[in-house]
Amino acid sequence: MLYLLEVNGIVAAFTAGFIFSLSGVVIVSLFAWQEARAYAAARYRIYRRRASLMQQPQFVVRPLAISRSFSRFDERPQLTSHTSQ
């Protein structure tokens, strides 16, 4: 009786492992399919946006504020242009 219980336990463990691994594969494949669809949709939107931007006239991006790097380094004194006395 104990032998049959052990055999049934082993068979049940292998069956449960197979079923859970099979369901895990199904869940992972559904997740991968969903992510692939989202990636393809995003890629399509990017290509569509790029195509619409190529047809529009180009625009110039201007900063909203004056950058400190421009005002600080545009008119700096020349260190090598001093005159000898």
Mean pLDDT, residues 50-74 taken together: 63
Name which residue leads in pLDDT, 43 or 70: 43
Residue 81 has pLDDT above 60, yes or no: no
Cα–Cα distance, 73 to 63 (Å, whole number) = 17
The pLDDT assigned to 40 comes to 94
Average pLDDT, the chain: 76
The pLDDT assigned to 4 comes to 73
The domain segmentation of the chain, as residue ranges, is 2-56
Which of 3-12, 40-49, 58-67, 70-79 is modeled with the greatest confidence?
40-49
Cα–Cα distance, 41 to 34 (Å, whole number) = 11
Phi-psi label, residue 84: left if phi above 0, alpha if psi -120 to 50, beta otherwise: beta
Q: Six-digit token pair at 15?
A: 């069956």
Cα–chain-centroid distance for residue 49?
18
Q: Residue 1: which pLDDT band, with cuts at 50, 70 and 90?
A: confident
The residue type at 60: V
The pLDDT assigned to 38 comes to 94
